[in-house]
A and B are shown apart, each in its own frame.
Chain A
C-alpha cells in the first residue's frame, strides 16, 4: 500500500447544501499535502469525514488502507489529529497530557515513559515537564500538541490550521517538526490560511465551493496560473469564483 489517502467521489450533503461535492484525490505516503480553500469551502467537512467523525453521504474514501465509513475505529487508531482549537488539557501538566493521550491510544506504560522522555528532549521542555500546560506560551503549546498528535506513531496526521495565531519564527519551527515527521514516512495532511506555508507543501489542493479546483505541486500551480506566489494563485481562484457567482 503506497497511498495514504484515496478518495472517490466523496460527497457530504447537509440538507440541500452540498458541503463537499464529489472530491476525488489521493495522497502518497510520507507526502505533505496542503488542503487549501476559503472559509466555508468545505475543507473542514472533508477533513472530518477522513478522520471518521462524519459519515459521507455518498462516495468512498480509504485512509491508511481502511474504509472511513465502515472501519472507523481502525481509521482512528492509525491517524493523528490536531484541531485548530487548542486540544490539550490546560489544567494538566505537560507530562500528564502525554500520559493521558498515550494511554488512550493503548501505549504500554514502558512505551509512554520512553516516548515522554524523547518528546520532552526533542522540544527541549524537560524542565517544564511538571508545569501546567496553561503556563506555557502558545507556540510551545502548539508544538506540544503536534508532538502528542503523533505520539502513537500514526501513519497519517491531520492538522487543521495548526499555526493559527503563532508568530513567524515559531511557525517556522513548527514546520521543522512537520518535515521531521514526513521524513519518518508520516503522511501530513494540513489545512492552512497562510500562503507561505502552502509553499512548504509537496502538493496542494485548492477547494472552492465544495469542489477541488486545482491540485498540483506549488511550482506547477504557479506556472499553471502564471502567478508569482501561491497567494496569487489563491486570489485568482477566489476571483473566478466571485465572477461565476455573479
Chain B
C-alpha cells in the first residue's frame, strides 16, 4: 500500500507540474460544453427562404407571414421570377424556395384547392429534411386555417374533428441541450480516462524510466494502480465539474440520483483506463498511443448514439454498439438525468459495464506482464 502511495504522490506532482495539464483539466470541459452544446444542434433555425409570390393576393400574403413568423425561416429574398430564386439556390444564398403560383387565391376560393411548389437544397440532407418538414407543417396548418374559416358553416365539410396532439415526455420543451450535454460529458470523461492514462504509461517507456522501475521491487499491480488511479480521480472530478457547469449554464435537470451517475462512471472509467493501459502495452511512443486511442474513440463516439440514434443504424452496426462502452454510459446518464431512472432501471447496464471492466483489464494486465 505504501508503494502505491509513493507512486500516487509522484504522479500527482507530475500531472500538476505539467503546464499543459491544468488547462486541459479546467478549460477543456468548459469549451467542450459551451461549443459543442451550442453548435452540435439538430434544431435548425434561420433557414434562408426565397418566397416567389406570383399571386400577390391577400391569401398568399397570409401564407408568407405565417412562414416567416414561425421563427424557423429567414426571408432571403422575394424575387418575382422563379429563375432568380433558382439562382439564389445555386449560389447557396437560399436553402429553400417556396413558389406561390399565380391564381393561388382564385383556385383556393373557386376550386377549393391550390398547389404550391417547394424546392429544397438537399446538399445537407438533414437540413433539407428538416426545412421541408417545417415548411410542410406550416402549410398544413395554413390549410387548416383556411378550411376553418371558409367551411366552418358547412355541416358536411366542417373542420376536422379529430386532431392529434402530442406531448414530449421527459424533455417537455424538446430542449436539445438537455439531450446533448449529458452525452458530451461522457465524451469528456472518456478523453481523460483513455487518452491521458495510456499516454502517461507510454511516457515512462519513452523517457526510459520504466526500465529503472522494473528493477525496483515495485510489483506490477502496484505500478498499474498507481498509474491509473490519478486519472480515475481526475476524470471523476471532471464529471462533477461538468455536471456543475451544465447545471449553471444550461440548467440541466437532474431527475434521478446523481450518485447513480457517479457509481456508473466509476466502473465506466475502469473500462476506459483499462483500454488506455492495453494500448500502452502495444505502443512505444506517446504519439502512437495517441493515434491508436483516437482511432478507437472516434469510432466509439460516432457509434455511441450520442449524435445519431442507435436505432437508426443498420443491423450489423447495432450489434457492434453492444460492445461499445460509450453507448451504455450515454444511455444511462440520459436516463438518470432526464427520466429519473433508478437503480432497477440501470442495473442491467451496470453489470454489463462491470463485465467490460473485468475483461478489458484482465487482457491489459496479462499483456502488460508479458511485455515487460
Binding site for B on A (CB under 8 A): 51-53, 73, 76-77, 79, 81-83, 85-92, 96, 99-101, 103-106, 158
Given contacts A51-B215, A76-B215, A87-B208, contact A104 B3 (CB under 8 A): yes
Contact (Cβ within 8 A) A100 B6: yes
- Complexed CA–CA distance, A118 and B352 (Å): 54
The residues of A that contact B3 with a CB separation of less than 8 Å are: 103-104, 106
19 A-B pairs with C-beta separation under 8 A: A51-B215, A53-B211, A77-B217, A81-B212, A83-B211, A83-B212, A85-B211, A87-B209, A87-B212, A91-B18, A92-B14, A100-B7, A100-B9, A101-B216, A103-B5, A104-B3, A104-B216, A104-B217, A158-B215
Q: Answer yes or no: B164 CB below 8 A from chain A CBs.
A: no
- Complexed CA–CA distance, A53 and B10 (Å): 23
Binding site for A on B (CB under 8 A): 2-3, 5-7, 9-10, 13-14, 17-18, 207-209, 211-219
Given contacts A85-B208, A89-B209, A91-B18, contact A105 B216 (CB under 8 A): yes
The residues of B that contact A52 with a CB separation of less than 8 Å are: 215
The residues of B that contact A103 with a CB separation of less than 8 Å are: 2-3, 5-6, 9
The residues of A that contact B211 with a CB separation of less than 8 Å are: 53, 83, 85, 87
- List 7 A-B pairs, minimum CB-CB distance, nearest first: A103-B6, A85-B208, A87-B212, A81-B215, A76-B217, A77-B217, A100-B10
Contact (Cβ within 8 A) A79 B14: no
The residues of A that contact B208 with a CB separation of less than 8 Å are: 83, 85-87
The residues of B that contact A88 with a CB separation of less than 8 Å are: 209
Contact (Cβ within 8 A) A96 B216: no
- Complexed CA–CA distance, A87 and B209 (Å): 5
The residues of B that contact A105 with a CB separation of less than 8 Å are: 216-217
Contact (Cβ within 8 A) B218 A104: yes
- Complexed CA–CA distance, A88 and B204 (Å): 11
- Complexed CA–CA distance, A106 and B6 (Å): 10
- Complexed CA–CA distance, A100 and B209 (Å): 13
Contact (Cβ within 8 A) B216 A92: no
Q: Given A73, A85, A158, which contacts B217 in the complex, CB threshold below 8 Å?
A: A73
- Complexed CA–CA distance, A90 and B208 (Å): 11
- Complexed CA–CA distance, A42 and B74 (Å): 77
Q: Which residue of A lies closest to B222 (CB)?
A: A104
The residues of B that contact A87 with a CB separation of less than 8 Å are: 208-209, 211-212
The residues of A that contact B17 with a CB separation of less than 8 Å are: 91-92
- Complexed CA–CA distance, A51 and B9 (Å): 26
The residues of B that contact A91 with a CB separation of less than 8 Å are: 14, 17-18
Nearest-CB distance from B4 to chain A (Å)? 10
- Complexed CA–CA distance, A89 and B18 (Å): 13
The residues of A that contact B7 with a CB separation of less than 8 Å are: 100, 104
Most buried by A among B7, B10, B217, B218: B217
The residues of B that contact A158 with a CB separation of less than 8 Å are: 215
Nearest-CB distance from B3 to chain A (Å)? 5
Most buried by B among A82, A86, A89, A158: A89
The residues of A that contact B216 with a CB separation of less than 8 Å are: 76, 101, 104-105
- Complexed CA–CA distance, A90 and B3 (Å): 21
Contact (Cβ within 8 A) A96 B217: no
Most buried by A among B2, B3, B212, B218: B212
Q: Which residue of B lies closest to A79 (CB)?
A: B215
Nearest-CB distance from B50 to chain A (Å)? 61
Most buried by B among A77, A89, A90, A104: A104
Contact (Cβ within 8 A) B215 A89: no
The residues of B that contact A77 with a CB separation of less than 8 Å are: 217
Nearest-CB distance from B207 to chain A (Å)? 8
Q: Which residue of A lies closest to B219 (CB)?
A: A73
The residues of B that contact A101 with a CB separation of less than 8 Å are: 216
Nearest-CB distance from B203 to chain A (Å)? 10
The residues of A that contact B213 with a CB separation of less than 8 Å are: 104
The residues of A that contact B5 with a CB separation of less than 8 Å are: 103
The residues of A that contact B218 with a CB separation of less than 8 Å are: 104
Contact (Cβ within 8 A) B6 A53: no
The residues of B that contact A53 with a CB separation of less than 8 Å are: 211, 214-215
- Complexed CA–CA distance, A77 and B209 (Å): 18
Q: Which residue of A lies closest to B208 (CB)?
A: A85
Nearest-CB distance from A202 to chain B (Å)? 23
The residues of B that contact A51 with a CB separation of less than 8 Å are: 215
The residues of B that contact A83 with a CB separation of less than 8 Å are: 208, 211-212
Q: Which residue of B lies closest to A109 (CB)?
A: B2
Q: Which residue of A lies closest to B372 (CB)?
A: A53
- Complexed CA–CA distance, A79 and B2 (Å): 20
Nearest-CB distance from A147 to chain B (Å)? 14
- Complexed CA–CA distance, A73 and B217 (Å): 6
- Complexed CA–CA distance, A87 and B206 (Å): 11
Nearest-CB distance from A109 to chain B (Å)? 10
- Complexed CA–CA distance, A113 and B217 (Å): 21
- Complexed CA–CA distance, A58 and B218 (Å): 26
Q: Which residue of B lies closest to A83 (CB)?
A: B211
Contact (Cβ within 8 A) B14 A106: no
